Structure 1
Amino acid sequence: MFKKIALVAALAATASFATWDKFPVLENHKGQAAVGISDIMQDKMNQLSLGAKARYTVAPNLELGLEIPFVIFTHWDGEDVEDANGLADIPLMVRYQFMPNVSAFLDISLPTCNEDLCGEDGPVGFHFGAQYSQNFGMVNFGSELGLAIETKGDDKTTPPWELNLGVEGDFAINPMLTPYVGLDLAMLLGKYTVDGENMGDSHTGDLGIGPYLGLGIAFNPMITLDLCAQFILGKDYLKATTQSDEMVTALGATLFINF
């Protein structure tokens, strides 16, 4: 059960595939900090997490960021799961905008997860790809194409690669309110391997579908509150990644501070 909890947490924590957003990097020497809370639900599992993250453009078009996620508690069928809390894997993020509308990104997930929460696996995750964005008047369009892979952890298990495609539209209704909708697609490639040997059936083509919607509330140019809900479907994909084919629901609220 602990492995399943860790897998669900990892899946929902990367519901937006780890990148900060699908839009251009910040202006040179501009930064943003955020603190958020998320509630992740699947079948009988419910997990509440906090996250703090920051990004800063250290040179023209070059943005660096990191996130520190912390699981507050995990419930299974209404009962608290002992010790299923603590620090999760910390992602480090790099984005470089090499064209006005195109950026490249690399996210590296460090194996910092609490042993009681994730076990002793300790894999390092890599997610890399490109983003394209364009402003169409009151609609700001963002998109992403990426590939996620993991190294072998202590259990010598490597999951299939994961190809993701995401699109999002932000609607600038007025200076204060920005509703948005998006869709993330994730397709598995290959099999699970144990110590280099293929195990079980191929998961190539298993597709996860993650529609989401949210609302950004800008109190002033410095402070914005973001509310978001995402639903992850796809029975084969979820069975392969979380050991359950039940839909994952992720609800989140994040406060952003520009500096």
Structure 2
Amino acid sequence: MSTQPIVKVGLLTALALIAFAANSVLTRMALAEPLIDAGSFTSIRLLSGSAILMSILWLRQKRPATTQANGSWFASIMLFLYATGFSYAYLLLETGTGALILFGMVQITMVAVSLLKGHVLHRLEWLGIGVSFLGFVYLVWPEVSTPSVSGVLLMSIAGAAWGLYTLLGRGSSDPLADTAYNFLRCTPFVIILMLASWSTLSLDYQGVLYAILSGAIASGLGYTVWYLVLSHLSATQAGVLQLLVPVIAAFGGVLFIAEPISLRLLLSALCILGGILTVILAKRV
């Protein structure tokens, strides 16, 4: 790959990771007060993501060339499981802790699937994964905040679902159409969630705004960009790169929610970044 495409992929990847971190910050800002209940936040997030993506697809004035570029029901189920587990977990977890559990589980899921498919990892890849994961463990255990067991379980389910959703996106021939139809297919599940969470309904205009920003911008457009760059990344690279998100999210929590910054956060960030760099460079050795 020449220098220009590498730079382009790097910038798009950075944009997608910032969008992922923004989701953590927006969700925590909305639910920590709370300004909105978790069910409504998830529903508005998915519906607004669907609305913006289908509008862009319509404005593009062309349908995907094949039916394969229309997403899938399995991908939509994984998207819904991720979004629901993510929202409810953030009722119980701080921004950085939640993001670390989420993307630690993403990495485990993606590496496990890669190994099951027969991919053999380079020794440097194993080293990078190990260093990154040690940084992850160091931050969440024994505490940045002591994680709730229920919160950890919900976020772990969300992470596994997102890992599978990411793997499904690696073969996308039309990232915009795939993401749009994946969001659209979530609609029946959203209706069920809205009915199930009706008794806890709580809406504030600011919470609704955060949910729309999370859905339309950070999720809808962010996930489209992510699907776009996945074809240029190995499953291992994609999994490890996402461990950068908790670092961005933790600093976002510091900036926007006044959550504490610590030496533990800084040291774990260095471990995670060093591990990511090792995995990326392993392919060049």
Task: Give TM-score, length-normalised by structure 1.
Answer: 0.28
Q: Return the TM-score normalized by structure 2.
A: 0.26
More strand by share: 1
**Greater relative contact order, per chain length (Cα 8 Å cut-off, separation 6+):** 2
